[in-house]
Amino acid sequence: MTEPARASKFFDDKQEKVAEILSRYPAEGRRSALMPLLWEVQRAERYVSEERMREIAEIVGTTATEVKGVMSFYSTFHEQPVGKFHVQVCSTLSCALAGADELYDFLVEELGIVNGETSADGRFSLQKVECVGSCGTAPVVQVNDTYYERVGRGRCQFLVDSLREDRQPPAWRERGGDTVGIDKPGPLAETAKGRADRGEG
């Protein structure tokens, strides 16, 4: 009987990268490499499957259960495939007071999905997340690894429209203080390119 073909492992052709990651930690701290290895998989595949968890466990000398336990602690890791554009809305107090709940409701209506769901075409997924560390620029939306700060309804519409056209705008960084309105870019963003990137004329 022919033996079934062995599924290729993610890190089979990335041994240099694995060695580089492991070299960051002492031999007795090999399990510390778990997080960067998880990131390598998720960046490439948009989630970490059970098979990849077992592979990472073998590399660092632990169990797949421990790998899964680490993953479950962080909302940034996903056990199921997410959309090409994974839209995350910060739902902690600072963002909620600045309008994040209304922003989330707008995204639910606009995308036709709710927290934890992925659109049928695989383009969008939506997730409420805990603090993303940008309380002074609330409300904040994160798409994949890119932050968009002080996002009001108008900006959010522009962002969604851009993503539908496979155009992800560069990060919107706002450090204008309390005088900057939610739908108005801050001083550091006041350039023709910044306004164009935001659909603001």
Domain boundaries, the chain: 15-73, 85-197
The confidence score (pLDDT) of residue 12 equals 92
- Ordered DSSP codes for 148-195: E-S--HHHHHHHHHHHHTT--PPPB----GGGS-TTS--GGG-SHHHH
Fold entry, domain 15-73: Arc Repressor Mutant, subunit A (1.10.10)
Helix axes 50-60, 34-45, angle to 10 degrees: 150
How far is Cα 141 from Cα 149, in angstroms, rounded to an integer? Answer: 7
Over its length of 201 residues, how does the chain's per-residue pLDDT go in tens digits?
A: 444 444 689 999 999 999 999 999 998 888 999 999 999 998 888 899 999 999 999 999 999 999 999 998 887 888 888 999 999 999 888 889 999 999 999 999 999 999 999 999 999 999 998 888 888 888 999 999 899 999 999 999 999 999 999 999 999 987 655 444 444 444 334 443 454 455 554
Residue 15: Cβ-neighbour burial (10 angstroms; 0-12, 13-18, 19+)? exposed
φ and ψ at residue 177, rounded to 5 degrees: 80, -170
Domains 15-73 and 85-197 share a fold: no
Whether the upstream peptide bond of residue 139 has omega within 30° of 0, thus cis, is: yes
Name which of 39, 43, 77 is nearest 56 in CA terms. Answer: 39
Q: Which residues contact 57 (CB under 8 A, 6 or more apart)?
A: 63, 64, 66, 67
Phi, psi of 135 (to 5 degrees): -60, -35
8 Å CB contact between 46 and 78: yes
Q: Please, which residues bridge with residue 127 across strands?
A: 88
Residue 34, pLDDT score: 93
Q: Is the pTM of the predicted complex or chain greater than 0.75?
A: no
Burial of 34 (0-12, 13-18, 19+ CB in 10 A): buried
Q: CATH assignment of 85-197?
A: 3.40.30.10
